[in-house]
Structure 1
Amino acid sequence: MPVRNCFHRQTTVSCATPSYFNTHPSLPQRLLLVLAILTLAVRPHVAAAAPATPAPAQSDRLVVMISLDGLAAYYLDDPKAEMPTLRALAAEGARATSMKASTPTVTWPNHTTLVTGDNPARHGVVGNNYFDRATGKRVVLITDPVYDKDEIVKVPTIYDVARAAGLKTAAIRWPATRNARTLDWTIPDVATMELMKKYTTPALGSQCEQAGISLTKKDGVALEDNNARELGDETWTRAFNLILQKDRPNLALLHLVNVDHTQHLKGPKSDEAYAAVKGVDAQVREVWEELQRDYPGKATLLVVSDHGFSPIKRTILPNVVLRKAGLLNSEKKRHDGAVQVVPQGGSAFIYITDDANRPSLLKRIEKAFAGMPEVAKIVGPKQLKDYGVANPKDDAHAPDMILFAQEGYAFGDTAAGDLPFEEKPERRGSHGHDSSLPDLHATFVAWGAGIKPGTKLGEISNTSVAPTIAQLLGLKFSNVDGKPLTKILTN
């Protein structure tokens, strides 16, 4: 069963007009703060924040983090990439040459690392999807979440700690935040209109309506139920700026996805990818201008990404390899057998369901993939910890083995056919590969209050982001995998 933490959500509903979004029951504010602070005090993972007071030390500060999904670090130094906003932010503030992502280099685990300071072995979001050993079925997180945040994120997040300290929090389309009880204003990262309406903060839904920001229509046409993602980055940026203008949060998170989607379809460094980079840079500028106008001298802006990108020329079919090795029973039933494969783009998770024969199966699997030129690494149980991945004995969602593809290759999911690969993949770009590969590194830029102008860092880890935010907001956030980036900070 997923592990719950003990935070309770406070829903802020103070709107004169009725909302079409569902309301949710909430505990009184005073009880919420007491429970949240006690939760932090009894958990060894994070030191308790100072008890909430009517005027927290950093109550006049704002830290904004914008994640540009799939923006590889190499774009910032690519002259073909039109990024005047990000380059101006980097020149006036700080930047890293690159930021190493967590394993696997996919969206949900890395966004969770960005807000927890921990690798997946500790925070529990192991991939965009995983195999549930208890039910024998796959759980797909990225397209339509099936769990609330408290059910899959095992450790406190930076917004949990901020809320416990009496600060106000917001997040737009941030992964693994569905029904997060310590977000005052939120629109979750879901695919269907039904879930978006259910879990969007009611007051925010009404506020967007009043401001002419439609969360149900695009170009005046009502969206079908499974088309919530079609609203696009422009809508989410407008809603985010509305929160900054009207609600005055202290910590606000925004997730923009068009660069990632475009590179999957057309490939990184394609004409379409460069156009998407230019577009998202303009959206960052909208937020930056809002901060300069409404929060002069009080705001810090972090622009990050979750992973880089690799062009894809061939798809590896691990289920075909396993079938030929006698480890899969059928061409049609991909999930039939003692070995289960869950692709994560440039990596594949291998799960073994036959505990009695686990040692021999590990050897047979390694032999089946050894010598395949498209497979860069085979990571066994003893090496998982080196990649920040939990041992399956400690986390049943974690795999027994990981396959890493060479750059230029990604893993597919079919067991049909005789060849272990496809020459013409449907997608032209992917990620999920070994996080040590430079092209899979992410972006980090910081600007504003508390940031030393002109600071340059080399390669950093994305586990450092949440501890750095904690320093900026005056929060205690210790015993996590990452360390704050003190070099870029003023006092």
Structure 2
Amino acid sequence: MPHKLLVVSVDAMHHDDLPFARTLPAFSRILEQAAVAEIEGVYPSVTYPNHTAQTTGCPPARTGIFNNLQFQPGRGDASEWFWDARAIRVPTIFEAAHAAGLTVAAVQWPVTANERHVDWLVPEIASPQVFDGLEDQYRRTTNAASLERYVLPNLHLVDVTGRKPRYYAFVNHVAEQILRHERPDVMFVHLVEVDSARHAGGAHGPHVEQALREVDATLGTFLDALADTGDLGRTNIVLVSDHGHLDTEQHTNLNTIFVERGLVRLDEAGRLLDYDVLCLGAGLSGQLFLAEGITPGRRAEVEALLAEIEATPEYRIERIWTAEETARAHGLDGPFDYVVESEPGVVVGMLWDRRPVVRRGDDDFPPVLGNHGHAPRHGGQPLFVATGPDIAPGIDLGRRSMLDEAPTFAALLGVDLPHAEGTVLHELLTARPLPV
């Protein structure tokens, strides 16, 4: 049997955070003998496409997870996220591990709801509006054993006092309990404290260090659980992250512009009637959808406006790609027609009840000071940190692709992931594990 594998995603942790992380007790224990790499994520640099790349080794054009949000015209930022695992179009590491007879756990990992290849499943649900409360969302998205043993007894740990539930305490406790009591062969956990801090306070600062301290405390409980069960010495531990953050400087609200030019039409209450072109935001980028059956004349109007937007300095739109271009350059494709790449720090807005351009310092600037979704070449980069019995200590792998992570997980487990486009990071393996 292969050694165990624990993968912890510290959402939005930068490679540049490692020096501070080395000053913290649990991080320092992991980093002491670790192999490290700086990772180039997939485009757009948002959570769900990148976490799906981490479990498949495939880009959005193949996984089908091209954004956090699904395209649901008229619903804006209330659109559903890609929360259901059945939306993924290629095999995952969960499926490969399960087929090999390994026990699999996933806590708060994106796009895992109804994932039938995970034995101990606590999925991330970012669309609570779809369900009738917390209990209903888990009854409809996980298996009976996970629900009864870990979800229902701990739902009181979910903080429901804000606009959206906060799952920190729930996730941290449940993950530790599963690790301790079920001792799965493979476990994936998603921690979001650092991402929340960077959204609220900007890309850098004491608020980020505090969030890293909170994550460190959670990592400490994981290490203690592994030590207490005797599994620490036979577990490969990998810390990953999904994207960086940039300080938010401006919102360019494209749907507002489309409304002003008559390419999006609203009723008297401001609700969507129909559209020729509509923007789905992805933070610091966006995706544009043309109406089905759009006439050549209307399409020409849209294309003329897009050229004007691209050429207008105040909008700060760096480039508008066709989907064919992003598919070739970034592995990004989907049911959209164009991809909008803004200048770093500029949100590509999809609401139509705001001014076309809102700048930081304006009274109506939204209270989110950090964001992502930008082309992955900008800003702080995600990380990959690995330590354990099958990991060569102290290696710096330089800059690698996020698509290489899933094949490397598969190699550590001795399973096959033939659909993956990435390659195994052989340099970090002490010896390639044998198939199960």
Uncovered stretches (5+) of structure 1, i.e. residues with no partner: 1-56
Contact 2:157–2:170 (CA<8 Å) still a contact in 1? no
After superposition, where does 1:181-196 map in structure 2 within 5 Å?
A: 181-190=116-125, 191=128, 192-193=133-134, 194-196=136-138
Normalising by structure 2, we get a TM-score of 0.86
How many residues are treated as equivalent by the alignment? Answer: 412
After superposition, where does 1:264-279 map in structure 2 within 5 Å?
A: 264-279=199-214
Report SS of the residue matched to 1:199. coil
Q: 1:337 aligns with which of 254, 258, 275?
A: 275
Cα RMSD, aligned residues only: 2.8
Q: Does 1:375 pair with 2:317?
A: yes
Equivalent residue number for residue 201 of structure 1: 143
Q: Does 1:323 pair with 2:280?
A: no
Q: Cα 1:171–1:413, aligned 2, differ >3 Å: closer, same or farther?
A: same
* Distance in 1, Cα, partners of 2:157 & 2:295: 54
* Distance in 1, Cα, partners of 2:5 & 2:22: 27
C-alpha displacement at 1:335, in angstroms? 6.9
* Distance in 2, Cα, partners of 1:453 & 1:335: 59
C-alpha displacement at 1:414, in angstroms? 2.8
Equivalent residue number for residue 94 of structure 1: 35
* Distance in 2, Cα, partners of 1:469 & 1:418: 46
* Distance in 2, Cα, partners of 1:225 & 1:163: 37
Alpha-carbon displacement from aligned partner over 1:254-284 (angstroms, at most 9, x marks no partner)? 0111211122122121322221111112212
C-alpha displacement at 1:408, in angstroms? 2.2
Q: Does 1:308 pair with 2:261?
A: no
Report SS of the residue matched to 2:166. helix
Equivalent residue number for residue 4 of structure 1: none
Report SS of the residue matched to 1:217. helix
Q: Does 1:455 pair with 2:392?
A: no
Return the letter of the residue paired with 2:14. Answer: A
* Distance in 2, Cα, partners of 1:199 & 1:317: 34
Q: Does 1:218 pair with 2:154?
A: no
Q: 1:129 aligns with which of 51, 69, 89?
A: 69
* Distance in 2, Cα, partners of 1:320 & 1:299: 52
Return the letter of the residue paired with 1:306. Answer: D
* Distance in 2, Cα, partners of 1:140 & 1:416: 12
Contact 2:193–2:211 (CA<8 Å) still a contact in 1? yes
Return the letter of the residue paired with 1:407. Answer: P
Q: Cα 1:322–1:480, aligned 2, differ >3 Å: closer, same or farther?
A: same
* Distance in 2, Cα, partners of 1:93 & 1:146: 33
Q: 2:288 aligns with which of 320, 331, 350?
A: 350
* Distance in 1, Cα, partners of 2:260 & 2:17: 41
Contact 1:314–1:425 (CA<8 Å) still a contact in 2? no
Q: Does 1:360 pair with 2:300?
A: yes
Contact 1:101–1:306 (CA<8 Å) still a contact in 2? yes
Contact 1:76–1:87 (CA<8 Å) still a contact in 2? no
C-alpha displacement at 1:486, in angstroms? 0.7
* Distance in 2, Cα, partners of 1:298 & 1:112: 26
Contact 1:377–1:405 (CA<8 Å) still a contact in 2? yes
C-alpha displacement at 1:140, in angstroms? 7.1
Return the letter of the residue paired with 1:388. Answer: G
* Distance in 2, Cα, partners of 1:80 & 1:238: 22
Contact 1:305–1:442 (CA<8 Å) still a contact in 2? yes
Return the letter of the residue paired with 2:326. Answer: L
* Distance in 2, Cα, partners of 1:204 & 1:322: 46
Equivalent residue number for residue 434 of structure 2: none
Contact 2:76–2:350 (CA<8 Å) still a contact in 1? no
Q: Does 1:407 pair with 2:347?
A: no
C-alpha displacement at 1:236, in angstroms? 1.5
Q: Does 1:436 pair with 2:377?
A: yes
Report SS of the residue matched to 2:373. coil
Return the letter of the residue paired with 1:244. Answer: L
Alpha-carbon displacement from aligned partner over 1:309-332 (angstroms, at most 9, x marks no partner)? 011122111123333444333593
Q: 2:50 aligns with which of 83, 93, 110?
A: 110
Contact 2:6–2:187 (CA<8 Å) still a contact in 1? yes
Equivalent residue number for residue 40 of structure 1: none
Alpha-carbon displacement from aligned partner over 1:116-135 (angstroms, at most 9, x marks no partner)? 01001101111111325xxx
C-alpha displacement at 1:73, in angstroms? 2.1
* Distance in 1, Cα, partners of 2:17 & 2:66: 27
* Distance in 2, Cα, partners of 1:365 & 1:200: 46
Return the letter of the residue paired with 2:411. Answer: Q
Report SS of the residue matched to 2:117. coil
Return the letter of the residue paired with 2:320. Answer: I
Return the letter of the residue paired with 2:323. Answer: P
* Distance in 1, Cα, partners of 2:273 & 2:69: 14
Q: Cα 1:468–1:461, aligned 2, differ >3 Å: closer, same or farther?
A: same
Q: Does 1:62 pair with 2:1?
A: no
* Distance in 2, Cα, partners of 1:146 & 1:456: 34
C-alpha displacement at 1:245, in angstroms? 2.0
Equivalent residue number for residue 178 of structure 1: 113
Equivalent residue number for residue 51 of structure 1: none
C-alpha displacement at 1:461, in angstroms? 1.1
Return the letter of the residue paired with 2:233. Answer: G
C-alpha displacement at 1:84, in angstroms? 4.4
Q: Percent identity?
A: 26
Q: Cα 1:74–1:376, aligned 2, differ >3 Å: closer, same or farther?
A: farther
Equivalent residue number for residue 216 of structure 2: 281
